[in-house]
Amino acid sequence: MAMKAIVKSVISGDSLLLRGNPGPQGQIPKERVLHLADIQAPRMGTLSRDDEDWAFESREFLRALTVGKPVSFTSTHSLPTNDDVPRDIGSAEINGVDLASELLKNGWAKLKEFKRDPTEEDLRKKDIEAEARAAGKGVWNPHGPKARTTNYMMPTDSQTFITEWKGRPIDGLIEQVKDGSTLRIRLLMPDGDHQFVNIALAGVRCARAGGKPGEVSEQWGEEAKFFTESRLLQRYVKVHLLSLPNAAPTPFQAGATSSAPPSASIFIGTVLHPAGNVAEHLVSAGLARVVDWHAGMLASGGGMERLRAAEKVAKEKRAYMYANASAPSAKSNGTVVNGASRSFDATVIRVWSADQISVVDRETSKERRVQLSSTRGPRVSDPKQAYWAQEAREFLRKRLIGKHVRVHVDFIRPREGDFEERECATVRYGGQNSNIAEQLIEKGLAAAVRHKRDDEDRSPDYDKLMAAEQAAAAEARGVHSGKDIPAPKQPLNISESAHRATTFVNGFKRMGRIPAIVEYVAAGSRFKIFLPKDNQVLTLVLSGIRAPRTARNSSEVSEPYGHESAEFATRRYMQRDVEIEINDADKSGGFIGALYYNKSENAAVTLVKEGLATVHGYSAENLSWAGQLYDAEAEAKQAKRNIWKDFDETAEQVVEAPTEDATGPLKTEYLDIIISDVRTKPQFAFSIQILNTEGIASLEKLMREFSQHHKTVAAPAGFVPKAGELVSAKFSDGQWYRARVRRSSAIKKEAEVTFIDYGNQDTVAFKDVRPLDPRFRSLPGQAQDARLSFVKLVPSESEYHDEAVERFRTLCEGRKLVANIDQKEGQVLHLRLIDPTDPAVAQDPYASINVDLVREGLATVDKKGCRYLSSYPAMAKKLQEAITIAKRDRAGMFEFGDVEEDD
């Protein structure tokens, strides 16, 4: 009785492997071998023997005629089974054509000798064979088969073979399906030889199917094998060899393999049938999983994208392997994570390592520390990775610090051991929306993390990251170069001690601006600076300002706005390329100087303008940009920014003289004054009180109440006065006065103050300082800083300087005088001092103490500091006459002859 089956494969020109139809619930169909009766074809070769002549061509004829097609067959008798597969001898037809007769007709088989009396059918087949022999068909071809070598073993030098044929399409014939994704293929080489290779389908892996009797298959292994066999076995395909089986290099992970043995047992490649890529069909059917580390081989051509799309289809259908797949993780969706936006625009403010950065959300100003998704950078702690760790960190710093980026949080990595919970994100920047992790990996400065098979917490660009790593390995970039580079040397800390720092100061001064990188921000005005050219680090303290102190540990308390000042400096300057200027060194080894960002921005001025630092008058006096500091502080006060939030402008007011042109003469205006304080350090100066105002009377009343108030008030516990703050302070005479703090030392527990009603200065212990009660703030300070118009006392290095100061005190200190304001420089009045008791004043309108000091050889004309002198020609003439008299009388500094005057 005739039976029907599908030809699964052709064993040789006279033998077929048949299979039935799938059973219920997709059961794998049974198979049997059918040997065609009465004919014999050349035998195919094996590992141990060569092909007989015409064996491949004979089999090829029958293969092309039957594989994958239905046949009718009849079994004449059975043979012993082989590996539990039934074997029969019989006949078969396809579309009514007898296969044995067709083989004889085309010369691809011979009749066996009959051991029986020939029948009519036997005689007919003999005639067919005779015709084929006469025509020289098939095995009867008198010229014999074409010379060919068939290599049944894998290439001996696998790496050379891959290098030669990688990416080049080769025609192949599928000879065996070991499991759904592992094939044995006969490559038809261009020179005519045949090369057998084992191929693992790139990008996928199927469950293993049992290959030996009794060997148990993995779940879905037989189904996957049948899926591939029914579509590809003994079909012609295009093969693209891609790689040896070694996983892509993972230089920062344990168990990394970066090289393969010379002779491999399998290659990785793609197999393309005219109907498509079987790997994609396997995945979409739920019979194969995607292999992540193959992404590097497939991503460039879109292969991984197609596999991911197929995987999505299988999961949606819950087919086979994905029958019990869980729904997509909720933490991978939505717009909010941990109460914050999942996608947001940000500015990068710090690079922690090769795979971690801190950003500030532009909308909320919240700082967030993120890990680059699916990325692992080299570690500084590993000597073999330290060099590359530094290179990777510097790459990120140059690309990202201060830049606008787009951040998408892909997943949250939970707390594990010593590692805190971390937001893992994809960070994109620039006009091309580039993924910084992909660029980092492509340069060989990081690796893609190998996720577990079912781990969905990964970068959405994971395949691109794998492709970038493969490209870096192929080009031997970065860590893939194989270079053994020693760990970078630790930078020399030149702020280790005051002695060491001092030796560098003069050299730094000569260099002017020095390129540097802000390594760390310790406080608003204190920075750790790295000098890359010399591999040095130093502490830089900004000169001219004082920023509020920040707590150094949990037991300390930050001064008001100390945290805000440090945070502002961190966000603006941390890890930025800057320039520094050094002026001096302090007693702890810190360098005092300036920091410039973007060539022109002075960090000290910026901090003062933001109200996050105050001008330190003593250190600012000799700075070329002191004016910028005072202007910035005035702006911050007016805007009531930060430190100046509760600033009381009325308490800062002083009696101001009218201002006119900066160098022109002012309108004559005589004031009654008293000189309240004379100072010689850091240079000669004095303060006055203006008597013909209501302020003095108000001051007398205030001081009476002030004295009563301080008999009962006590200092608040732990009070620490701050620079710029208005306070009550006890002077050396035992009385309390209103004062402003110039600077404060928590270590010495003392403050330098200026008494705002008298102008004198003193250093006062904290125990003698109180916060200024609000009711004593309304009256403006009555002391006004002043200097002599047109002249200056002889310099401090002159032997007559002490005599000149003493003479000034004798003529002026504590006496009521008349003064004319000749010019105003900021808050400093330039005064012509007149003694109303001097008889010469009545006859000479230009008589003054200023002229007297010049005539006595104790002062000189100040042409540099008093540029307005030319606007007072009569006064200039009077001063010249005074110089002539001083020289004639050899007075003061002219005692031993002429002295060169100031230009």
- What does the pLDDT look like over 48-90, one tens digit per residue? 888 999 999 999 999 999 999 999 999 988 888 877 789 999 9
Radius of gyration of the chain (CA): 48
Q: Which fold has domain 150-211+218-250+262-322?
A: OB fold (Dihydrolipoamide Acetyltransferase, E2P) (2.40.50)
Angle made by CA atoms 674, 778, 726, in degrees to the nearest 5: 80
Are the C-beta atoms of 541 and 526 separated by less than 8 Å?
A: yes
List, for residues 206-246, the tens digit of each pLDDT value. Answer: 999 987 767 888 899 999 999 999 999 999 999 999 988 87
Are the C-beta atoms of 271 and 104 separated by less than 8 Å?
A: no
Confidence of residue 337 (pLDDT cuts 50, 70, 90): low
pTM for this one? 0.61
List, for residues 636-682, the tens digit of each pLDDT value. Answer: 998 889 988 887 665 555 434 344 445 567 777 778 888 888 888 77
Return the bridge partners of 272, or none. 238, 277
Q: Which fold has domain 784-894?
A: OB fold (Dihydrolipoamide Acetyltransferase, E2P) (2.40.50)
- The CA distance from 260 to 106, in Å, is 47
175 has a pLDDT exceeding 80: yes
Q: Give the lowest-confidence range in 33-42, 261-270, 342-351, 704-713.
A: 704-713
Confidence of residue 294 (pLDDT cuts 50, 70, 90): confident
- Per-residue pLDDT, averaged over 489-504, amounts to 92
Please indicate whether residue 694 or residue 490 has the higher confidence score (pLDDT). Answer: 490
The pLDDT of residue 376? 92
φ, ψ (nearest 5 deg) of residue 651: -75, -15
- CB neighbours of 389 closer than 8 A, spacing ≥ 6? 353, 354, 377, 378, 379, 380, 382
- Per-residue pLDDT, averaged over 811-828, amounts to 85
Rounded to the nearest angstrom, the gap between the alpha carbon of residue 812 and the centroid of all alpha carbons in its chain is 65
The pLDDT of residue 257? 43
- The CA distance from 520 to 529, in Å, is 7
- The CA distance from 54 to 44, in Å, is 9
E runs forming strands in 95-181: 97-98, 110-111, 150-151, 169-179
Most confident of 182-191, 310-319, 673-682, 802-811: 182-191
331 has a pLDDT exceeding 70: no
334 has a pLDDT exceeding 70: no
Q: Which fold has domain 3-140?
A: OB fold (Dihydrolipoamide Acetyltransferase, E2P) (2.40.50)
- Per-residue pLDDT, averaged over 808-833, amounts to 87
- The CA distance from 481 to 307, in Å, is 31
Confidence of residue 44 (pLDDT cuts 50, 70, 90): very high
The pLDDT of residue 658? 40
42 has a pLDDT exceeding 90: yes
Q: Give the lowest-confidence range in 63-77, 251-265, 515-529, 678-692.
A: 251-265
- Tell me what percent of the chain is helix, strand and coil, each rounded to the nearest 5: 30, 30, 40
The pLDDT of residue 797? 84
Are the C-beta atoms of 173 and 157 separated by less than 8 Å?
A: no
Q: What is the dihedral of CA 283, 289, 293, 295, to 10 degrees?
A: 20
- Tell me which of 3.40.50.1400, 2.170.150.20, 2.30.30.140, 1.10.3720.10 is the CATH number of domain 696-781: 2.30.30.140
- The CA distance from 35 to 12, in Å, is 9
- Where do we find the tokens 């395949």? 463
255 has a pLDDT exceeding 50: no
Residues of the chain with CATH 2.30.30.140: 696-781
Are the C-beta atoms of 258 and 249 separated by less than 8 Å?
A: yes
Q: Give the lowest-confidence range in 495-504, 563-572, 643-652, 804-813.
A: 643-652
CATH class of 343-480: mainly beta
The pLDDT of residue 529? 95
The pLDDT of residue 12? 95
Q: Give the lowest-confidence range in 71-75, 112-116, 765-769.
A: 112-116
Residues of the chain with CATH 2.40.50.90: 3-140, 150-211+218-250+262-322, 343-480, 492-647, 784-894
Return the bridge partners of 677, or none. 687
- The CA distance from 607 to 523, in Å, is 11
The pLDDT of residue 660? 42
Amino acid occupying residue 378: P
Closest CA to 572 of 613, 603, 531: 603
Are the C-beta atoms of 90 and 34 separated by less than 8 Å?
A: yes
* DSSP, residue by residue, 851-866: HHHHHTTSEEE-TTT-
The pLDDT of residue 657? 39
List, for residues 131-158, the tens digit of each pLDDT value. Answer: 999 999 999 999 988 888 999 999 989 8
CATH class of 492-647: mainly beta
Percent of the chain residues topping a pLDDT of 90: 44
- The CA distance from 880 to 40, in Å, is 138
- Per-residue pLDDT, averaged over 384-391, amounts to 91
- The CA distance from 113 to 128, in Å, is 15
* DSSP, residue by residue, 333-347: SSSEETTEESEEEEE
State the DSSP code for 326: P
187 has a pLDDT exceeding 90: yes
Q: Give the lowest-confidence range in 247-256, 453-462, 465-474, 808-817.
A: 247-256
Please indicate whether residue 325 or residue 863 has the higher confidence score (pLDDT). Answer: 863
The pLDDT of residue 772? 85
Residue-averaged pLDDT of the chain: 86
The pLDDT of residue 900? 54
Q: Give the lowest-confidence range in 504-518, 612-626, 655-669.
A: 655-669
- Where do we find the tokens 């219920």? 24
254 has a pLDDT exceeding 80: no
